[in-house]
Structure 1
Amino acid sequence: MIEFVFAPEDVARVRFAFSPLWEMVRSLRVLADPSGHALHLPWVRTVRPRLRGLGLEPLQEVVLPAGYIPDFLTPPPGTPLPELGAELEIVRATPPEVVAAELRWATRGSHPAPARLAMAADPERTLAHLADLLERYWEVAMEPFWPRVRDLLDGDVLRRAGALTAEGAAGVFGDLHGAVTWRAGTLTVDRPWRFRGELAGRGILLVPSAFVWPQVSVMVPPYQPMLSYPPRGAATLWETGRPDDDRAGALAALIGRRRAELLSALATPASTTDLARRTGVTAGAVSQHLGVLRACGLVSGHRMGRRVLYVRTAAGDALAGAQRSDARASSRGGAGVPPGP
């Protein structure tokens, strides 16, 4: 069990970020054990043929299907929206002794594999090789799909930042994950190892991650305390085609079929490009319909860097029957057709 004890200043320092590097490293675990991450099977089927001959064996030796991932591969994001290049530079700057120690580390009662011990014997060369492999892997397996993943993560940050402002820590942690509990100033995470400590003014970094689904991941001091969790709406990530909603017919009769589709699709925040992909409508047409929905007070737009994410307002949620849509999206185990770049 992990227990983070919050002081009042720690609550004020709850902050959000997401990390291309974290997504990439976690996706390696999905490839190693697709059966444990069924949500991502469409992505696995698409990506696996592209990885032949890439020589990922050293990465696969370090990022096993379960257990400890060396912390030097997943440094806490230093900014809310880090660039992959900057994150890889942090990895490359890891001291050799840290690389060696983390490669040799094993859970109690087990021993590191001979291949990892061999890598630990030459940490500088190992680090450079692993960083180069991550860069190649990103170009083939992650970069073509990053815009849709980024939109999902952006949307979750948008929602939870609003909950933090409106309800405080309880609003953020209350529905974060089944393994996470907030009670009387202590954040408890159900994990198979033990840690209890005060945050001591450092706060906590919350990192939504599509590929950590269906679990959570925790980082404790001496690193920046961090909790990585699946974003809301992760079940929609690889879906394509128009949304299927039981109330679609009645809603379409009220506001029009296209606008009803868009309002239903906004069960999770999305950009114009993502909505166009998911509903099969041109981006220009989506923008026009969103303009009408905004004028009616059913959706609002929020700028995230260079992009604008759209989210349903309370009135839009009520009209679309949001609670039932959200429950269906959270419980849906499968996914749609395989994604394209």
Structure 2
Amino acid sequence: MLIRTGKIAAMLCLVTILISFGVTGAEAGTKAVHEGRVVLKMNDYFIIYTYPKGPYIDENNRLIIPLRSVSDLLGADVAYDGPTRTATVTLDGHTVQITIGSYTAFVDGEPVEMDTMAVLESGSMLVPARIIFDSFDFKVELNAHGVVCIRDERLYTKEFVRELSRGELLYPNPAEDGQRHGTDFFYRHLASMDYFGWLYLKELNVFQPLSYRVVFEEIKDDEYYKVLTSASYMIKNISGKEIAKGNEDFFISYYTMASDYFGTRDNSTLGEKSDLRSRTASTKDEIIIVNEEVKTRQKIKYILAIGRTILMPNEIREYQLK
């Protein structure tokens, strides 16, 4: 088992990530711990954490997600009526109504029985995902690791989610790859800069996150940063082959309550300066532990990750000539 550790400070006003070897000036304050299996994937991105609770499987073996994420991640319009404790979800001309504590939902006005129910936790409504997916015709598959996987262009409706598919991580030959993989593979967001230029995508769906443990801790004595996030992710090489040193890029992105985005990018990921972030080699089916510390000005609302590989400088020219 390999362990990769990084410590990150995020300057959200500049959307800049700084890597350091320690976080100082943090005094223990309010602390919240979230941990569990990774159970949801939307297009190429694993949904690791959603406020106030990450997607999880309940006692009835059903996927439960926060109501907020139905709007932010699925692109639906959501309204909540406090007195009746009922949520109304609208998408593509269809409507679903779900009430906390009830096994009956209403789809376009017709009652539909569920085998689990919505609950209230930390002041937020958590809803059964299946009634949402089925009612709005999201195609769902279960992968070999028990992860619910959805692929749908509607998942890119919201602006901050669209950014995940159009950013700065380039293919060596974008025009060719756009034809080969489709437009949503044309460019990849969540890029890193290194001293040699942009990073280039090599392969998607290489690493599968299995579980996570995230600790949010209030910072008392820092004038700028207010929240320290300490995270540990267990990931598995599912490529069926060995990954050479320097190619691994399990990229984790974070969104705050203000929908500010930042990712674990750094300024020295390749070549001589690679000591600040270790991109270790991994054998087929090997488990890797990724540890990070992130400082932000606001609470974290979402943690998403993509398990990919990047090209080393000596591979880029070879790839372009294919």
TM-score, normalising length: structure 2: 0.25
Relative to its length, the structure with more helix (as a share) is 1
